[in-house]
Structure 1
């Protein structure tokens, strides 16, 4: 049997409507030299039965049910640690991959030894697979780590978090847990990790066509919620604190990936784009909402 070169780690939690299609699109890859680890974080909707069914019919699949709920971030870290192959990628249990996704990404990493992550142009889609928009970020690719980070911070998109990584890099990352009151909110906590990648090495993108389809769910189907929804004041406090966390943790990951000099060079951009600008926008929205509600009450 051929030794796998790619590990695909899929964190699973209550996605029975989409998980079968997601698994099928991975098993149908033209590049077949991979193994797929399904880490079930305590599903109760029947997703586990689907995982077990596929594990029985395809020996490339390993199914693991966690003894207690880890949460999405710790589950993703667990999957990366389980990898013993040259390359690794995370796979959402509701997303879809073109059959040539792995083939093209493996080729990009083989041809570009300075790259730590390979990805493709991709489409966001609805639950019914209707195309919403196409996203491509070739500007993230540059010989300079400062330029890569600058482009990412100014025009951030987290899609390439689902790209193909060199396993040695994927196993170095950790996803932050935001401070109270955001400790159970994973929104944006992949951004410091993406900063780590871009500080550590180059990004390469297959831009000829979309090879990845990221599903955007309706609010009621999302497994994690924002803190303070419905209370404009509390939501704003939580948001501003989360953006401050994002800035601090991103600085830390850049320093860890490269050096303190690069972290300080990029810090003004982090503060302006990811904390000040976004926080002021949120405060403005909250103020308008407050005024509108006061007018309606009067």
Structure 2
């Protein structure tokens, strides 16, 4: 039985029944655009889904907006986190909280055209060799006006996984594939989003080693560009300071990203030859980041020495 036939037999979402698609919406202080985002999801046509909202302890009106939406729509499950998990932790928690066959992340400041979810579902269900379906996008500003367009330049539907990761690593592109619809059981076999700033790029590169992507060349995602986006409003080092929750005191952003790319290739279902070629495909990224990695190591050495000196001073002062 193919995926589409299996999904068609799934029960409709009634009460606690599980839908074939889970939409995970991580949010922190998303009040400015959240109502629009929720409305566009609720207006998706001809598709059975449930919406999981993970609220990272928002301090604005996010909680009230979400609780009211959940009261009015039985497809919505709202969970306010017991503590702020950081952006990465909140995204990954949503994957594990849902149990649907298909999963997608939705942003609290984006919007969907009404047929986006159904078209991604149909495209992925028709392709047993695919692990992700995604669409083109229209970029909008804070007021909702069109400011740009995005189409995928990478050969993510190529039969060779090395070609797929080579393009994703080597070509200049926006990583909007991360807003697509995933085959959830494959997604959970990856490292998910690692605790580094450019984690979505690492995840998509890793996922490309597991299977092909289906592309829908229609602008069905409305991706909002504004000054308050997390990736735009904080520096790389501040991102680690505010978003990371693993307690590490020495931060080496570029070095750690390199390590996660290597882990992605090492853990993927590749032949020995493919693994070697996939590692070689990382060379453009490694060359571009060689100097930043050297600076990471130098700064870590200085910071480590300061931490050691401070610890010694405290011990001697006792």
Instruction: For residue 217 of structure 1, give the secondary structure of its aligned residue in structure 2.
Output: coil
Contact 2:254 2:292 in 1 (8 A): no
Count residues in correspondence: 262
How far 1:158 sits from its partner (Å)? Answer: 1.5
Aligned residue number for residue 296 of structure 1:
none
Matched, 1:142 2:161: no
1:267 maps to: 279
Aligned match for 1:277, one of 257, 278, 288: 288
Query: Per-residue displacement from partner, 1:170-225 (whole Å, max 9, x unpaired)?
Result: 223332224xxxxxxxx311122111210001101111x2000111121x553862
- Deviation string 1:132-161 (CA, Å, 9 cap, x unpaired) is 221112622111111111111122432111
Which of 104, 107, 129 is residue 119 of structure 2 equivalent to? 104
Aligned to 1:121: 136
What is the rounded CA distance, in whole Å, between the counterparts of 2:24 and 2:273 in structure 1? 34
Q: 1:113 to 1:206 in 2, by over 3 A?
A: same
The equivalent residue for 1:192 is 202
Asked if the contact 1:254/1:262 (under 8 Å) is kept, the reply is no
Distance in 2 between residues matched to 1:18 and 1:253, nearest whole Å: 34
1:5 matched to which residue of 2?
Answer: 20
CA RMSD across the alignment: 2.3
Partner of 2:35: 20
Structure 2 SS opposite 1:36:
strand
Aligned to 2:230: 222
Unaligned segments of structure 1, at least 5 residues: 179-186, 230-239, 284-298
Q: 2:121 & 2:75 partners in 1: Cα distance? A: 18
> Which of 163, 175, 192 pairs up with 2:193?
175
Does the CA-based 8 Å contact 2:116-2:221 persist in structure 1?
yes
1:41 has 2:56 as partner: yes
CA contact (8 A) 1:251 1:263 kept: no
Call closer, same or farther: CA 1:211–1:143 in 2, change over 3 Å: same
Q: Distance in 2 between matches of 1:103 and 1:193?
A: 24
Contact 2:133/2:213 (8 A) holds in 1? yes
Superimposed CA distance per residue, residues 213-256 of structure 1 (whole angstroms, 9 cap, x where no aligned partner): 111121x5538621458xxxxxxxxxx94233223211211221
Structure 2 Cα separation of the partners of residues 282 and 210 of structure 1: 37
Contact preservation (8 Å) 2:141, 2:225: yes
**Greater alpha carbon shift after TM alignment, 57-66 vs 83-92:** 83-92
Q: What 5-or-longer segments of structure 2 have no aligned partner?
A: 1-10, 14-18, 239-250, 295-318
Contact 2:254–2:293 (Cα < 8 Å) also in 1: no
Using the size of structure 2 for normalisation, the TM-score is: 0.76
For the 8 Å contact 2:265–2:279, the answer to whether it is kept is: no
- The question of 1:154 aligning with 2:170 is answered yes
Name the structure 1 match of 2:242.
none
Instruction: Name the CA distance, whole Å, in 1 between partners of 2:145 and 2:275.
Output: 40
